Amino acid sequence: MKKRAKSKNKSASVEKRVNKNAPIAVKILSILGYIFSILFLIIGILSLIVSIGLAKSNEPVILPADFPSEFVDLFTNHLVPFLVGMGIAFIISGIIGIVISRGLWKGKNWARIVVIVFSLIGIVSNIMGLFAKDFSSIIPLIIDIVIAWYLLANKEVQKHFGE
């Protein structure tokens, strides 16, 4: 019985030590993930609040005179459901981001793998943007490459995530 208690205490102290010794870039990625996730949650909640306000309002939507006529129906009849859908999507993304950021902070390998997969998807997406002559995707492409390379190749990161 005492051996089990000692092993639990040992694993708890190892976990605390691993978190304190996490590579600084992993901590930065985690903190940035928390920040953006909280922003996503705020945007989602605000979107839901606006949609509720629009749904309760009896005022007609006033559009500028030069507003394209093909979009009038979209704005007058579909704006509330669109805002609700976007609000829910942002809230779900924010929650997922918080879970992933927490996993990175605690050294969970599944979180590292998820971030690598998202970075690889970003790399492919940004390369496609370059082929479409969208040169604003150069900086995100570089960021995604650096993140994927860092989480895949850095020995300190591999040690932190238990590889």
- Give dist(CA 101, CA 37) in Å, integer: 9
The C-alpha atoms of residue 133 and residue 89 are separated, in whole angstroms, by 29
User: How confident is the prediction along the chain (163 residues), in pLDDT tens digits per residue?
Assistant: 555 555 555 544 444 444 567 899 999 999 999 999 999 999 999 999 998 888 887 777 777 888 787 777 777 778 888 899 999 999 999 999 999 999 999 999 999 999 999 999 999 999 999 999 989 999 999 999 999 999 999 999 988 898 6
The CA distance from 54 to 48, in Å, is 10
In the block, which residue shows the tokens 């928390």?
Answer: 34
pTM of this prediction?
0.77
Residue-range domain boundaries for the chain: 22-106, 107-163
Write out pLDDT tens, residues 109-150. 999 999 999 999 999 999 999 999 989 999 999 999 999 999
**What secondary structure does DSSP assign to 87-146, as a single string?**
HHHHHHHHHHHHHHHHHHHTT-HHHHHHHHHHHHHHHHHHHHHHHTT-GGGHHHHHHHHH
Return d(Cα 75, Cα 66) in angstroms, integer. Answer: 14
